[in-house]
């Protein structure tokens, strides 16, 4: 019996090592040791970071342009209240439903992944959206850069101080509280957090207030920063219709363009034999040099 147990343990170790080696990339870096994750969860983390680098999260993961970024994964699960359910009801998520059980299991894996990815410099969070839709709850994955978030709490203390937020506030507290705040405070908060300039934040909030008062949509243009996935629609903010970009906008654009080109130049040095990028080592090397 003891021999059989020992054999089974050895077999599990061999299978585990074999699976890990097939992933191709390093899971033990200066920044991370993902040994607590299953191979499937390591792949989830890898794909999440890879998506982030190809989109606007690059400017949080490998630079200081954006205090926070969305990692773009649209997570939606049938776990919210249906139309007939009331405020204060006890039983909402139907645990007898296969879809609900699978949703909660997947969310548990995501929370485990984000916990393991979080470091002294970066926090990864899964934040539920306030609004639900036909019994579905949407959630967003956010990465926060601690130093830039702390500086923002100091720089905009006259705004963020109303919630008691300070440079040492927990990012999860900040993001969760703001998502469930009133609309226009939420708009202003997210504008600052996502790295938009003051004039763009003011315009968006004022346009919302104007629409509330008049019922008329305020027309707008958009100012786009490039990302690897495309030149428009990612790191983007609204501006007045016919607005001529200023030095402030140009400075943000040029910095984003420089960061993107630097990333694209470095990326080829981290390409694996199967064509994938070892994003763990790429990001880790950036933070190692800081």
pLDDT tens profile 177-233: 999 999 999 999 999 999 999 999 999 999 999 999 999 999 999 999 999 999 888
- Torsional class of 72: left (φ above 0), alpha (ψ -120 to 50), beta (otherwise): left
User: Which letter does DSSP use for residue 219 in this model?
Assistant: P
The string of pLDDT tens digits covering residues 160-169 is 999 999 999 9
Containing H/E element for 223? strand 220-227
Q: For the chain, what is the radius of gyration of the CA atoms?
A: 22
Residue that is written with structure tokens 């996935």 in the block? 229
Would you call 202 helix, strand, or coil by DSSP? helix
Going 50 to 54 to 76 to 142, the CA torsion angle's sign is: positive
Q: How far apart are CA 268 and CA 276, in angstroms?
A: 10
Q: Under 8 Å CB-to-CB from 259, ≥6 apart: which residues?
A: 58, 59, 62, 63, 65
Q: How far apart are CA 230 and CA 197, in angstroms?
A: 21
pLDDT < 50 regions, the chain: 1-21
pLDDT attached to residue 232 = 87
Please give the model's pTM, rounded to 2 decimal places: 0.89
Q: Nearest-5° angle of CA 31, CA 36, CA 37?
A: 90
pLDDT attached to residue 30 = 79
């Amino acid at each position: 019996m003891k021999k059989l147990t020992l054999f089974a343990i050895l077999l599990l170790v061999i299978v585990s090592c074999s699976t890990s080696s097939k992933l191709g990339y390093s899971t033990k870096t200066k920044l991370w040791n993902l040994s607590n994750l299953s191979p499937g969860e390591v792949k989830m983390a890898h794909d999440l970071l890879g998506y982030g680098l190809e989109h606007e999260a690059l400017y949080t993961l490998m630079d200081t342009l954006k205090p926070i970024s969305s990692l773009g994964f649209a997570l939606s699960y049938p776990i919210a209240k249906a139309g007939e359910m009331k405020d204060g009801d006890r039983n909402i998520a139907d645990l007898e439903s296969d879809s609900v059980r699978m949703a909660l299991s997947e969310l548990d894996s995501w929370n485990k992944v984000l916990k393991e990815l979080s470091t002294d410099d970066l926090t990864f969070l899964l934040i539920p959206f306030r609004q639900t839709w036909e019994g579905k709850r949407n959630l967003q994955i956010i990465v926060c850069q601690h130093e830039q978030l702390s500086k923002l709490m100091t720089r905009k203390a006259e705004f963020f101080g109303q919630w008691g937020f300070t440079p040492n506030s927990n990012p999860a507290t900040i993001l969760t509280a703001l998502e469930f705040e009133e609309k226009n405070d939420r708009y202003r908060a997210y504008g600052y957090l996502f790295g938009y300039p003051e004039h763009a934040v003011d315009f968006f909030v004022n346009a919302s207030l104007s629409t509330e008062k008049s019922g008329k949509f305020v027309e707008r243009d958009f100012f786009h920063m490039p990302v690897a996935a495309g030149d428009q629609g990612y790191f983007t903010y609204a501006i007045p219709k016919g607005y001529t970009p200023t030095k402030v906008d140009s400075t943000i654009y040029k910095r984003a363009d420089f960061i993107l080109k630097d990333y694209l130049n470095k990326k080829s040095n981290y390409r694996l034999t199967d064509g994938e990028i070892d994003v763990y080592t790429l990001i880790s090397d950036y933070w190692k040099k800081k």
